[in-house]
Structure formats: structure tokens, C-alpha cells
Amino acid sequence: MSKQRLKSELFQALQERYAPDLQLIGEDFQQAVLIEPGRLLEVLAYLKADAAYQLNHLSNLTAVDYKDYYEMVYHLYSLPLKQSLTVKLRCDASLAQVPSVTGLWPSADFQEREVYDLMGITFTGHPQLRRILLPDDFPDHPLRKSYEFNPVEEKG
């Protein structure tokens, strides 16, 4: 599986191009790049279009609640070059807002709506950001670590 990851020189090239807003983190299959939210769209557009990367398939998009901050995770894959890259982004828990990538990959539409629905992160620039799995009047975002489950007691 290791052969599918991005070559290390491509990682280095990315870091040089976008330093200090881009860092390399993790090792082996956990290797990823961490981007400053402000430059997310710029970097992703480059990764999608540049001939050395051609990451044209957004395989997965999700978010993790680390209490102080939310981490967005994008798993990109290149069909022509058969290489993959994990892109991460941290946003402050009090802000909970990141740019939408639907302009680059329309496939992010439902996935961002799901993250918004369950994790409560707002995506700026999303065409129709509304809940997708839970009812529209659901009060909270259940995948947050702070979520408390209060079952209604049955009567009788």
C-alpha cells in the first residue's frame, strides 16, 4: 500500500512552495499535509490541476472533533497517476467555519452537508448548506464530543 502514496520529493516541493502555511505531518501511511485555512482553496486547486499531482478525485471528506479545534480531513486520489494524498486543516472550535471545496470537486456537496449536519462546521461558499441526515429542526450536532444524549423517558 505504501507505493500508492505521494513521492517524498513531491511532498518537499509542496512544502517549499507554500511554506510557512503548509506543514508535513505524520509518517508512513499517516503522512499528510496540514494547511492554514486561508490558503486551502489555493493549495487544493493547485493539487488538482498541476501535472505532477493531478489529484482529481476527492475520495473522502470528513471532520474530527479534538475539543480545542476541529480537523478537516480530505483524502485525495489521482486516477491518472495512481497516487494519494491526505490534506488536513485545523479550525478553531469557537469559529467552526471553513471554506467549501464544492467549487473544485462537486462531489463534496453531500459530504460537506453531512459534516455540517453532524459536526456543526459551516462551509462558506457551499451552494445549499442544510441538514442532510437529521431533521431540519434537530437542535444539536451529535458527532461533537460535547454532545450529550438525553433520551426522552417513555411514559406508561
Partner 1 sequence: MPKTQTYTLNMGPQHPSTHGVLQVVMELDGERVVQAIPQMGYLHRGIEKLAESRTYAQFIPYTDRLDYVSSMGNNLGYCQTIEKLLELDIPERAEYLRVIMAELNRIASHLIFMSSVAIDLGATTGMMFGFRDRERILDLFDMACGARLTYSYIRIGGVREDVPPEFMAATRQFLADFPEMLAEYHELLTGNEILYHRLRGSGVISGPRALEIGLTGASLRASGVDYDIRKAEPYGIYDRFDFCVPLGQTGDNWDRYRVRMEEMKESAGIVTQALDALPDGPVMAKVPKVLKPPPGDVYHRIENPRGELGFYVVSDGSVKPYRLHVRRPSFINLQALNEICQGLLIADVVAVLATLDPLMGEVDC
What are 8's three cell numbers? 517524498
Stretch of residues binding partner 1 (CB under 8 A), selected from 14-22, 39-47, 89-97, 131-139: 131-139
Stretch of residues binding partner 1 (CB under 8 A), selected from 15-23, 34-42, 72-80, 89-97: 72-80
Output b/e per residue, 117-143; b: 16+ Cβ within 10 A: bbbbbebeebeebeeeeeeeeeeebeb
Stretch of residues binding partner 1 (CB under 8 A), selected from 12-20, 33-41, 91-99, 128-136: 128-136
Task: Select 23 or 107, whichever has its Cβ closest to partner 1.
Answer: 107
Taking each helix axis from N to C end, the angle separating 40-49 and 8-18, rounded to the nearest 10 degrees, works out to 140
Least separation in angstroms between CB 104 and partner 1: 9
In this structure, which long-range contacts are made by residues 17-23, counting pairs with CB atoms below 8 Å and at least 24 apart in sequence? 17/46, 18/43
Supply the Cα-derived Rg of the chain in whole angstroms: 17
What phi and psi values does residue 49 have, to the nearest 5 degrees?
-95, -30
Instruction: Report the C-alpha gap between 77 and 61 in whole angstroms.
Output: 12
Task: Select 16 or 121, whichever has its Cβ closest to partner 1.
Answer: 121
Least separation in angstroms between CB 156 and partner 1: 25
Residue from the set 45, 49, 79, 95 that interacts with partner 1 by CB under 8 A: 79
Residues 10-69 that bind partner 1 (CB under 8 A): 26, 29-30, 56-60, 62, 64-65
List interacting residues with partner 1 (CB under 8 A).
1, 4, 26, 29-30, 56-60, 62, 64-65, 73, 75, 77, 79, 82, 84, 86, 105-111, 114, 118, 131-135, 142-143, 147
